[in-house]
Chain A
């Protein structure tokens, strides 16, 4: 690899970590199209590198959220039993899927993510009635909201639906190298009744182990390029460190809208790549 490519990958990864942390995304939706469209790497190499980048993002962010008590470790771990299974299934499918098809699937994911980013559906936590809340596991959580210093307590419900959706989110992660937060966060918030902040922090906490399950398959199958992966992980880590510290200074809504438009454009490029019209390799 020449030095210009290496520096380029590092810069894109810094940008992915920086933007991702401000937009509430793992860097995957940014880094995969960059590696695939800009640098011409095969989809499998891009996905493998991105999975390790997701572990870096999750580990960095979770160490902060866990301290704040925002990540619900029990809820996260119960759902991880499903996301890891999904991730293994997704990664095994990806190994045998040709990269054109993966590019198209990724384009579809981008379209969904762009709609999600603009709409950002949110349900405010309401106290669950006793009959409805999860009984087998004690998954209730509480954290102190930094905005007003109040303690927020909540119960969790509909674990069966949550586990089913987690299986899907995990499969998406293993197949396409993303964290799965675009599925996991609304499921925990809207279906399971966790407040938005707890849902986002728990999703971030879970991503590390979900991506790990897929990453070991990519690593073992020789689909991971050490130099590309190292550059991506280091870049995303430092980018996210800066981004998360200045996120509160940026007007979130307009940034999300602008980025949603960019994602639609990237989705079109991914479709073109999938159709073989755009061949950068």
Chain B
């Protein structure tokens, strides 16, 4: 597959993640400005975010936006991985998997 195609898809992933995360965070901040609700200084776990959004908790919405933003660079690594697999570029598949493993370790360390 052509090099520029990878660039094109990586760019689309970055733009989509950016628009989605900034919009969600802005909505959450606006909700917080109107009615603050719960403690603004403690991040919620994914299940708390899910329940919080149903209840209209602004902190849950802001956290969701933060998680979307954090996930954006991750999505572009996964996009590149798919390309390298299709292209049978073994070395770059290894590089992509290695990055994902390190991120996985970081998630586990963070949660522990």
Give the B-binding residues of A (Cβ under 8 A).
1, 3, 6, 45, 52, 55-56, 58-60, 62-63, 66-67, 69, 73-74, 77-78, 80-81, 84-85, 87-88, 91-92, 136-137, 208-209, 211-222, 224-231, 233-234, 237
Give the A-binding residues of B (Cβ under 8 A).
4, 6-8, 10-11, 14-15, 17-18, 21-22, 25-26, 28-29, 32-33, 36, 40-44, 59, 62-63, 65-67, 69-70, 72-74, 76-77, 80, 91-92, 95-96, 98-99, 102-103, 105-107, 109-112
Q: Is the pair B59, A226 in contact by a Cβ cutoff of 8 Å?
A: yes
Which residues of chain B come closer than 8 Å to A45, judged between CB atoms? 41
Which residues of chain A come closer than 8 Å to B6, judged between CB atoms? 73
From DSSP, what is the main secondary structure of chain A's interface residues?
helix
Q: How far is the CA of A212 from the CA of B68 in the complex (A)?
A: 11
Q: Is the pair B74, A78 in contact by a Cβ cutoff of 8 Å?
A: no
From DSSP, what is the main secondary structure of chain B's interface residues?
helix
Q: How far is the CA of A3 from the CA of B30 in the complex (A)?
A: 11
Q: How far is the CA of A80 from the CA of B81 in the complex (A)?
A: 14
Q: Is the pair B102, A78 in contact by a Cβ cutoff of 8 Å?
A: no
Q: How far is the CA of A230 from the CA of B40 in the complex (A)?
A: 11
Q: Is the pair A230, B92 in contact by a Cβ cutoff of 8 Å?
A: no
Known contacts A77-B95, A78-B95, A219-B43: A213-B66 contact under CB 8 Å? no
